[in-house]
Structure 1
Amino acid sequence: MHVSFNLAATFDAALKTAATAAGFDAADFSPEVRTADPKHGDFQANGVLPYAKRTKQNPRALAEKLVAALPADVLTGSDVVIAGPGFINFTLKPGALQAWLREFSTRAQLTAGAAVAYSGQTWVVDYSSPNTAKQMHVGHLRSAVIGEAVCRLLAFSGARVIRDNHIGDWGTQFGKIIWAYKQALVTAPADLEAALAAEPLAEFERLYKVGNNAADADPAVLKEAQQELVKLQAHDPENTAIWKRIGEVSFSAFQQIYDLLGIRFDYTLGESFYNDKVDQVYRELTECGLAAESQGALVVFHPEHPRFKEQPFLVRKSDGAANYASTDLATILYRSEHFKADATAYVIDSRQGDHCQQLFLTAQKWFDKTNRKVPHLEHVSFGTVLGEDGKPLKTRSGENIKLKDLLREAVERARRLVDERSSDLPEAERARIAEVVGIGSVQYADLSQNRSSDYLFSWDKMISLEGNTAAYLLYAVARVRSIFRKLDATPGDATTEAGANAIETPAELALARKLVKFSDAVALATSSLRPHFLGLYLYELAGEFSAFYAADKVAVEDPAVRARRLLLCARTLLVLETGLDLLGLRTVNRM
């Protein structure tokens, strides 16, 4: 049987070949191969039933014809059983399982096998996107960690991925900050510079609050702040210098968070980058008949859409100013023309659902009318992080929790766990393990959830060695590493594995069957852009390994048995470390 990374795809291709040989209408038949309930086998094909219904034939008879026409290597590599009215179940034989484990023995081989799925596609992933002059808080966590995992999954699956941090660095708030900055420069210049030297981003955030409160209280201040914005938009040197300083300190603070989370960006193209590109949007939308003026504003209607019949998409405000819609449309055009993007994933919270729908509808009609290739646009939406009270997570005083403070506390809590369990390790190593476990716990608590749902933030559940947690998975990695240390062996050593005989015990077979399903977990997580499917798989794999380790001793005298069990240990380590890396987590050798 041909061994490919994705065995479900292997069976799918074999069934399509058999369907042609059996006289099926190949264009109308889809095998629909998916992972099976373990009670029934490894993979199940469900496509016979809908095909039989469409063609008014007996599904069981069709399934029998299909199985009879399967290529010989599929039949020698797996047991094939027809169940019920026409489900086709495949159970891999031990030899096929072992062949897959030998074929995919390195990260490079796994990557090469997976890269077939999205090869040739260019994806832009738009994620994180904080506002400058503000500190990142817990509300920024989900976009950052989900977006990074999505990038890694797509890249692993063969896509060319462009990471774009579409920051908020333009708009009315900067007039208020500049006004407050200039006031402080006059009234307390030494205090201003001291604060900017100590905590620059916190100081700009404070200045915004000062300017905003003053503008709310006094129309004269509001007018002055608006004038500061007009000067900035006209490229006034003083105001531009202040604006650039805001951007520099913001990027520096953001990067500290990104470094902790293992996030990098290819581009940071904020709203200001598109400031000179919105006029083309207005002109083309008007010329192609999509946009029209309404009460002084430029709007697009989507009368065919039930929810947007009476809800216009505002692409230019009545005062002539651009808004999110303006820059978002300009961004889609730029990504299409400059990056040649086939698709863009917007990792934005679910509250922006209406905006994304109207944006995508407008872009699709615009591109159609101007004879451009329409890119695939997808809203990777997510829910809210909740506190123990079931409300959005805040401090006791009701403030947003700063993300740097949250991550710091995670490391401190993980350090207590590490000190308790591994006090014999050197201080520097315990500090490093605490950082990996603490940061990873925050990331994984998010990524293990279905992103569409809100989730409850609980320190006790998050940093625990029990349940589906980062600590549990990282401990599984460390435990496999310890096996190789004790036996003075190297994971993946070809000489050791060459002596392995056939997998035979129930625990060995169960672990091998779980390992070959890695490709299915990656495919499901990537196609749905839902990393939790991979997280669940890794948790189940760690459980299978634990059962195997409890049932079958690795350090046995028989060299052939020892070799095959070390092979299983090595592939478990490879898949766990690869999977955790795809989710953005680092691993440790000891815990």
Structure 2
Amino acid sequence: MTFPIKSNLPQPTRVYRVGLLVDAAELRGCVDMNLLAEVRKLFAPVLAGFVPDPAQVPDYLDMIKPAANADHGDYQANFAMRLAKVQGKKPPELAKAVVAALPPNDVFESVTVAGPGFINLKLKADWLAAQVRAMAADARLGVAPAESPRKYVIDYSGPNVAKPLHVGHLRSTIIGDALVRLLRFLGHEVIGDNHLGDWGTQFGILLYGYKNHRDEAAFHADPVRELARLYILVRGLFKKEDDEDDEATADDPVKEACRLETAKLHAGDPENVALWKQFMPACLEMLRPIYDRIGVKIDHALGESFYNPMLPGVVEDMLAKGIAVESHGAVVIPNAKGVIPKTEEEQQKEEPPALIRKRDGAYTYTTTDLATIKYRTETWCPNTMLYVVDTRQALHFKTIFAQARRWGYEATEFQHVMFGSILGEDRKPFQTRKGGVAELGDLIDMAVQLALKKYEESYADRKAHGHDVPELTDDVKRDIAEAVGIGAVKYADLSGNRTSDYIFSYDKMLATEGNTGTYMQYAYARCRAIFRKGQIDETRFRTTPPAIVVTHPAERALCLQLLKFEETLQSAATEYLPHYVTGYLWDLAKTFSGLFENCPVLTAETPELRDSRLLLVDLTGRVIHKALDLLGIRTVERM
């Protein structure tokens, strides 16, 4: 990620790197392997004859889902109970009538009615095998691009640039990056925007620190390190070290001095603006190495300073349109319901309004966010704006989105993609051993060091037990540790529902068993090891794939799981929930283990069966590789 700076009135330069991940060559010959869509397609014309309004058919089709219990089948249709009420029939009776109306097809092995009207569906093994063979020959692994692509703007990461990235930025950055990758792979246009905090209170802290506590020689030698030191030093002088509230500074002389430095910057004070311009390259350089290391590239870096010249116009326009009102010298906008509480009783019942201009003429985050919506809408014309920001900002975005729609931006869909907190093992906000919020660089260093240690221990143990383990160079070992350590941190964050808090534990993250990034990377490496051991070129399994021969339940189970790849990605994209992908990977890895344990590959009974199983192994590796890549996680060939 790059952040070049230019300024008349200070503002970061835009960095354009927008594009789709789907190119023309990749689209040629792509196939659609959405099993759920195929099953629903078979029921659609049948249901049209049972529902009173054909427009309601999709609602009923949504009630066809993967079976919760594999013993009952592969998919289950649960619409009979609801439809029976409309038809005035008993659910089992209606379910049997729907089943009887299904036309002959090559998809279902069995369609049975159970209990109060559930329709259990089992797919034919030979049909599954044919779909897997086609999937193997497809560069997109059976995932068709969207028929009606949308344009998204995704706001994520958004650190304050005057201080090092800390663990609090981890979730927004990783979740946002995963959504960008996923939506682009599905054929949508995605614009990533890093809404940098480059104009706020934190710069007042740096300005005060620079003027009163700087080490001139240290600043010239390494401005990045010296600014980081100054920020920590000045924050430590606050009466409440964790408080950056610029509204409550009267009883804290250092904080008050920092607030005044910020006010001078915003007022255009020549000295402070000049220092701001001098600080910015070093501040941005604090961020670049971390973004590079975790493999995150964001298309734009438009910080608060970029929108600063637009703020007066936002307030004037909202006043002119009657959306904002003056109140006790300030300007406010209503809450999400369009209400500005006036009486004490209303204030207790209603959500508060939001300030867009303070009594002293200063503007707020709310004003900046409204300017951002205006700019993004008029510049990029997106269908949807996603804000990957923690749950504590829920009320803020609820108000912002409501007022943006009143302001005239009702054609754009706004979504707050909220997430919970990272907790330590004491279930309190995660901190370093030294106390304070953990810096992201330190966290990553520790994960990589532990990954290298575990690799060395595993290597020594396997060698002691007589296993054939390759001698790797130190550089290769470090690269493996980097991929595994960072992958473990990312996967742990993405593997739970983003709305929940999660406990940060290196031991759990780096475990080689269970639903961890390390285990998924190991599953991929195991796929690759089979081809190395057999000295087999995998190319032909992708260009002219052999027929799939299903002789064991483990082979059928793996075929079915591989073919659920597209429906999983679609669900994850629709609900903005990356943990659907990690859940799929966990099921795929377990299913692959079943094949590995029950079905010899290199020593299969016949050449045809050997080729069939090699294709399944290669395709499993390819799907794991792609799914991890969509989560921003690297794979390694050996572990």
In the alignment, which of 143, 146, 165 is matched to residue 116 of structure 1? 146
Q: 1:415 to 1:55 in 2, by over 3 A?
A: same
Structure 1 residue runs of 5 or longer lacking an equivalent are none
User: Aligned AA for 1:109?
Assistant: R
Structure 2 residue runs of 5 or longer lacking an equivalent are 1-29, 340-345, 461-470
CA RMSD, 1 decimal: 2.8
**Correspondence for 1:288:** 321
Measured after TM superposition, the shift of residue 226 of structure 1 is 5.7
Matches of 1:220 and 1:458, distance apart in 2: 39
Matches of 1:352 and 1:191, distance apart in 2: 38
Deviates more, 1:337-346 or 1:222-231: 222-231
Is the 1:181–1:207 contact (alpha carbons within 8 Å) kept by the matching residues of 2?
no
Is the 2:108–2:121 contact (alpha carbons within 8 Å) kept by the matching residues of 1?
no
Measured after TM superposition, the shift of residue 220 of structure 1 is 8.2
In the alignment, which of 403, 406, 414 is matched to residue 377 of structure 1? 414
**Correspondence for 2:343:** none
Where 1:90 maps in the other structure, the secondary structure is strand
Is the 1:480–1:573 contact (alpha carbons within 8 Å) kept by the matching residues of 2?
yes
**Correspondence for 1:256:** 289
- 1:301 pairs with 2:342: no
User: Aligned AA for 1:477?
Assistant: Y
Matches of 1:578 and 1:300, distance apart in 2: 45
Structure showing greater relative contact order (alpha-carbon pairs closer than 8 Å, 6 or more residues apart): 2
**Correspondence for 2:21:** none
User: Aligned AA for 1:571?
Assistant: L
User: Aligned AA for 2:635?
Assistant: T
Matches of 2:433 and 2:206, distance apart in 1: 27
- 1:560 pairs with 2:601: no
**1:161-198 Cα shifts (integer Å, max 9, x gaps):** 1111101111244234224323456xx5334434526x
Matches of 1:527 and 1:425, distance apart in 2: 42
**Correspondence for 1:193:** 220
What percentage of aligned pairs have identical amino acids? 42
Matches of 1:447 and 1:210, distance apart in 2: 33
Deviates more, 1:322-331 or 1:169-178: 169-178
Measured after TM superposition, the shift of residue 89 of structure 1 is 2.5
User: Aligned AA for 1:83?
Assistant: A
Q: 1:222 to 1:59 in 2, by over 3 A?
A: closer
In the alignment, which of 30, 36, 43 is matched to residue 8 of structure 1? 36
Is the 1:497–1:564 contact (alpha carbons within 8 Å) kept by the matching residues of 2?
no
Q: 1:299 to 1:237 in 2, by over 3 A?
A: closer
Is the 1:78–1:96 contact (alpha carbons within 8 Å) kept by the matching residues of 2?
no
In the alignment, which of 45, 56, 65 is matched to residue 17 of structure 1? 45
**Correspondence for 1:362:** 403
Q: 1:389 to 1:64 in 2, by over 3 A?
A: same
**Correspondence for 2:173:** 144
Measured after TM superposition, the shift of residue 278 of structure 1 is 2.0
**Correspondence for 2:9:** none
Q: 1:222 to 1:347 in 2, by over 3 A?
A: closer
User: Aligned AA for 2:210?
Assistant: Y
**1:247-289 Cα shifts (integer Å, max 9, x gaps):** 2122222121111211100001111111122233222322232
**Correspondence for 2:18:** none
Aligned residue runs from structure 1 range 346-357, under 5 A: 346-357=387-398
**1:210-268 Cα shifts (integer Å, max 9, x gaps):** 88679969988777756644553354554333212322122222121111211100001
**Correspondence for 2:88:** 56
Measured after TM superposition, the shift of residue 496 of structure 1 is 9.0
Matches of 2:320 and 2:80, distance apart in 1: 50
Measured after TM superposition, the shift of residue 106 of structure 1 is 5.7
**Correspondence for 1:31:** 61
Is the 1:299–1:315 contact (alpha carbons within 8 Å) kept by the matching residues of 2?
yes
Is the 1:196–1:203 contact (alpha carbons within 8 Å) kept by the matching residues of 2?
no
> Alignment length, in residue pairs?
580
Aligned residue runs from structure 1 range 541-556, under 5 A: 541-555=588-602, 556=604
Is the 2:130–2:548 contact (alpha carbons within 8 Å) kept by the matching residues of 1?
no
Is the 2:494–2:578 contact (alpha carbons within 8 Å) kept by the matching residues of 1?
yes
Q: 1:428 to 1:223 in 2, by over 3 A?
A: closer
**Correspondence for 1:518:** 565
**Correspondence for 1:42:** 74
Is the 2:77–2:120 contact (alpha carbons within 8 Å) kept by the matching residues of 1?
yes
Matches of 1:400 and 1:23, distance apart in 2: 57
Measured after TM superposition, the shift of residue 88 of structure 1 is 2.5
Where 2:419 maps in the other structure, the secondary structure is coil
**Correspondence for 1:168:** 197
Q: 1:25 to 1:277 in 2, by over 3 A?
A: same
In the alignment, which of 217, 231, 234 is matched to residue 205 of structure 1? 231
Deviates more, 1:27-36 or 1:568-577: 27-36
In the alignment, which of 554, 564, 571 is matched to residue 619 of structure 2? 571
Where 2:600 maps in the other structure, the secondary structure is coil
**Correspondence for 2:135:** 104
- 1:532 pairs with 2:587: no
Measured after TM superposition, the shift of residue 204 of structure 1 is 4.6
Matches of 2:333 and 2:542, distance apart in 1: 67
TM-score (norm 2): 0.84
Q: 1:134 to 1:308 in 2, by over 3 A?
A: farther
Q: 1:365 to 1:217 in 2, by over 3 A?
A: closer
